[in-house]
Amino acid sequence: MTDTTDPTFADRLTSACRTVIGDELRSVAYFTDDAVEQVYLRSDLDRTADLLGFAEIERTGFETGEKYRGTELGEYRATVRMFEHGYLVRVVAGGVGAWVTTDGMSMERFEELAAALKPVLREYDHDRE
C-alpha cells in the first residue's frame, strides 16, 4: 500500500534529514498503519527495497514507546539498525513514522536525526486528525 504524501511534508522530512546527515543520507520513507511511501532515494541507489516488508517491520515502533515506558532508560526516541552497507533509523510520533537509511556516521548524528524528525512527524500526525 502506498500513499501520496503531502509534498510539503515530504520536503520537510527530507530537508530535516539532509540538514543533519548531509551526503550520507541514502533514503527516507514515511509510514502509517496502512500506508508507506519512499519520499527520497539517493541517485546512486536502486529502487529495489521491499517497502511493504520494511514497513511491516518498522510499524512495530508504534508499540515500542509504550512497552519501554517507565524504564530506567528514559523515553524511547528511535531505533538504529546496523547493516553491511549502512544504517536504518526509525522514528515514530503518534500514528506516523519514518525510517531513514544512511551510510556510516557517529551516534551523535543519529541522536540529532531523531530530534530533528520528531517535531516534523508530530506536526504531520496532528494535521491528519
Which tens digit of pLDDT belongs to each residue from 36-52?
Answer: 999 999 999 988 888 99
Query: What is the CATH topology of the domain spanning 7-128?
Result: Beta-Lactamase (3.30.450)
100 burial type by CB count under 10 A (0-12 exposed, 13-18 middle, 19+ buried): buried
Please state the domain extents for the chain: 7-128
Query: DSSP E strands: which ranges in 1-129?
Result: 25-31, 36-41, 79-83, 86-93, 96-102
pTM over 0.85, yes/no: yes
**Structural contact between residues 39 and 5, judged by C-beta atoms closer than 8 angstroms:** yes
Is the pLDDT at 3 greater than 60, yes or no?
no
What cell numbers appear for 94 in the block? 503518534
* Per-residue model confidence as pLDDT tens digits over 9-33: 999 999 999 999 999 999 999 999 9
